[in-house]
Structure 1
Amino acid sequence: MEKSATDLLVQTSFTVVAVLNQAAAENDLSLTQLRVLAILRDREPRMAALAAHLGLDKSSASGLVDRAVARGLVRRSPAPDDGRAVVVSLTDAGHTLAAEVSTQIGTALAPLIGRLGPADQRRLATLLGRLLVAPDA
């Protein structure tokens, strides 16, 4: 019996989540803390936007950021246009750790992705990108 795209996507996500959990554990991070690093690699959101992106309430996100600040990975700064709002960004140590973890994840996923030739890898990247585009974008 042929599996549906949904079944295969779910199975693939389980494999990827296992790799992410392993990388997080090796770096003394939770999966959610790993997500924070990934989110902050290329953006500096306000705390409320970070919480929304993580699907957490603001107080839970604030606790995550508190722990990352204590480890020297993240900093809080006042938003330039609103002194009441807080912008969250990676420190140099945070950028370094994010890059190291990204490399670890890439290395761990390389055997899986390597089963595809270069053209299929590009096609997969295109298809996954289309899946991740917001419907209202």
Structure 2
Amino acid sequence: MLADMSQDLGIVDGLAQLSFLVQGALAKRAAVHDLSMTQVRLLGVLRDRRPGVNQLAALLELDKSSITGLVDRASARGLVTRVPSERDRRAVEVVLTDRGRALAEEVERDFGADVAVLVGGLTDPEQRRLSALASRVIETSQA
């Protein structure tokens, strides 16, 4: 940790160390539920969409064979299911089951509490500014 909290780590070290903190907190939440980080990402992606396997592969940046195994394992745990696509009868979509949705919501809630602790030393305006800046970085990286 920093001896002098006013020390500026610089953009590279600051973002890298912040990333490690956030990923570490999420990894701990995943471990509580015997989930891998990729499984947590899967649950997060499926909270608000019904992707096909190819779209899911793109969203998670994995190849199709990896997605098939990931979905198979999550399905075996009762977290996801495959359903016929509403847009293409030949395709399937991956959706959360009720159990999967409940787990996703629990992980999100508890991880949110962990993040609140991480940023607890910031004022409310500083937290809002950090959120806005992070959102902007993400938005511009996807352009």
2:75 pairs with 1:81: no
Amino acid corresponding to residue 88 of structure 2 in structure 1: D
Scaled by the length of structure 2, the TM-score of the pair is 0.89
109, 113, 119: which one aligns with 1:107: 113
Range moving further from structure 2, 103-112 or 47-56: 103-112
Q: Aligned residues, how many?
A: 137
Amino acid corresponding to residue 52 of structure 1 in structure 2: A
Secondary structure at the residue paired with 1:77? strand
Amino acid corresponding to residue 38 of structure 1 in structure 2: G
Moved over 2 A (4+): 134-137
Secondary structure at the residue paired with 2:62? coil
Residues 18-97 of structure 1 aligned to structure 2 (within 5 Å): 18-97=24-103
- What's the Cα RMSD here? 1.5
Range moving further from structure 2, 76-85 or 64-73: 76-85
Unaligned residue ranges in structure 2 (runs of 5+) = 1-6
Q: Percent of pairs identical after alignment?
A: 50
Deviation at 1:122, TM superposition (A): 0.9
Determine the structure 1 residue equivalent to 2:134. 128
Following the alignment from structure 2 to structure 1, what is the Cα–Cα distance between the partners of residues 105 and 50? 16
Deviation at 1:3, TM superposition (A): 2.4
Following the alignment from structure 2 to structure 1, what is the Cα–Cα distance between the partners of residues 98 and 78? 9
Deviation at 1:84, TM superposition (A): 2.0
Scaled by the length of structure 1, the TM-score of the pair is 0.93
Following the alignment from structure 1 to structure 2, what is the Cα–Cα distance between the partners of residues 35 and 74? 13
Following the alignment from structure 1 to structure 2, what is the Cα–Cα distance between the partners of residues 96 and 46? 21
